[in-house]
Amino acid sequence: MYTELSNEINEWCDEVVSQETAGLLDSGECSPLPLYQEICQKGWMNYANIAEDKQYFFHLAEVCKVANAYSGVLGNMICVNSACAMILGAFGNAEAKQFAQGIIEGKKLAAFSLTEPQAGTDVNNIQASATLDGDEWVIDGEKYLVTGAMLADAILVVVKTNPDVATKNGSSMLLVSTRSKGMEITPTPKMSANGYASCHIRFTGCRAPSDRIIGKVNGAWAAMSMAGGIERVLVAACCVGLCKRIGEYLYEYSNDRIVDGKPLYELSNIRHQIVDIAIKVRAADALVGQAISALASGTNATNAVCAAKVFAAQMQQEVSMTAMNVMGGRAYLKAYPVERWLREGLLSLWAGGTNELQKNLMSRSPFDR
């Protein structure tokens, strides 16, 4: 259904995101900003404007699939910024909505910050806080693994605003400018996608205007739930795109590589491993489609979203290891893309929450739609 869009993005990626560029984005020697801005200029980030048309979500997933197949940094950047734009569009005031439009047009960048050094899966343990002082919020505490914070103009930060109750009822979301005093952002080196750094942030008496609240005071949960759903589906879409690319690469490689006078692909064990990738990609893609349909219909999408994320992330790990096996020792070399794909693909284990978290969510009612 989206072949035309995929072809268009593929064509652009083929032209501008070479293996060398992807390697430089991965190591952090090259900034993704010019490429990202071009993506916006081409109108592909406009699909994050689901307020205009919920069906855009399908197109956005397609953008993620293709971009992530070429560079994890680009896939990551599209996921983070489109999730932020969707949250701002759905829960923000007029100024926040304008910021969301800026993201879509490539004039602004955002990041999302929930995790803390002591609070990951256990969101109830977040301790960063904000208190109102006149018409300003005063923020204190630490945030961790905030992807894209170094490039962002503002960060969506989840803070406790009522310390006496659990995060679900006692936290708020603020849009905090990265130019604010009392905010120190430090990149944390990671095993891949260093061009889009994940950062440690320290807030010390950092002030934000009171109208920077996104949603209601103590009402961050609604926006967090939306963010979780979007991120999980887009991460799953990224896995579909990367696994398809890995499968296609292995198909080509194994037809070219001659072993015992015959193409590697003629060995049934090799062929079957590649066909298994094609089957898994189809299944994961179908689950992504189901999850987006559920999100777009406004019904409870938890099971559909979590199922897509778990299946796709698991597939990603399996496909990456299959590639290491099919390629033989060359897979281990930097001269080939497979080792980078393995490292990039590992992110799906944690992005949008771990698979264990998704299973915990599904275990409440696993067979509901």
Instruction: Determine, following the binding rule CB under 6 A, whether residue 71 of this chain makes contact with ligand FAD.
Output: no
User: What secondary structure, in 3-state letters, does 126-148 show?
Assistant: CCCEEEEECCEEEEEEEEEEEEC
Among 22, 243, 307, 347, binds ligand FAD (CB under 6 A): 347
Among 25, 50, 78, 145, binds ligand FAD (CB under 6 A): 145
Rounded distance between C-alpha atoms, residue 337 and residue 315, angstroms: 18
Instruction: Determine, following the binding rule CB under 6 A, whether residue 113 of this chain makes contact with ligand FAD.
Output: yes
| Distance of closest approach, residue 238 Cβ to ligand FAD, in angstroms | 13
> Chain centroid to CA 299: how far?
23
Instruction: Determine, following the binding rule CB under 6 A, whether residue 176 of this chain makes contact with ligand FAD.
Output: no
Cβ neighbours of residue 120 closer than 8 Å, sequence gap 6 or more: none
Contact window for ligand FAD (CB under 6 A) among 37-45, 302-310, 349-357, 361-369: 349-357
Among 300, 360, 366, 369, binds ligand FAD (CB under 6 A): 360
| Distance of closest approach, residue 209 Cβ to ligand FAD, in angstroms | 23
Rounded distance between C-alpha atoms, residue 305 and residue 362, angstroms: 10
Instruction: Determine, following the binding rule CB under 6 A, whether residue 168 of this chain makes contact with ligand FAD.
Output: no
- Specify the residue, 192 or 273, whose C-beta has the smaller distance to ligand FAD: 192
CB 187 within 8 A of CB 198: yes
Eight-state DSSP code of residue 363: T
CB 244 within 8 A of CB 237: no
Instruction: Determine, following the binding rule CB under 6 A, whether residue 194 of this chain makes contact with ligand FAD.
Output: no
Eight-state DSSP code of residue 291: H
Instruction: Determine, following the binding rule CB under 6 A, whether residue 167 of this chain makes contact with ligand FAD.
Output: no
Among 5, 42, 120, 178, binds ligand FAD (CB under 6 A): 120
Contact window for ligand FAD (CB under 6 A) among 264-272, 280-288, 330-338, 353-361: 353-361
Write the interaction track for ligand FAD spanning residues 252-281; mark x where CB under 6 A is met and - where it is not. Answer: ------------------------------
What DSSP string describes 153-197? SEEEEEEES-TTS-HHHHEEEEEEETT-TTEEEEEE--SS-TTS-
User: To 10 degrees, what angle do helices 94-105 and 72-91 make?
Assistant: 160
Among 114, 152, 156, 206, binds ligand FAD (CB under 6 A): 114
Q: Contacts with ligand FAD: how many residues (CB under 6 A)?
A: 20
CB 161 within 8 A of CB 218: yes
Contact window for ligand FAD (CB under 6 A) among 112-120, 124-132, 207-215, 308-316: 112-120
Rounded distance between C-alpha atoms, residue 87 and residue 227, angstroms: 7
For ligand FAD, the binding residues (CB under 6 A) are: 111-115, 120-122, 145-147, 190, 198, 347, 350, 353-354, 356-357, 360
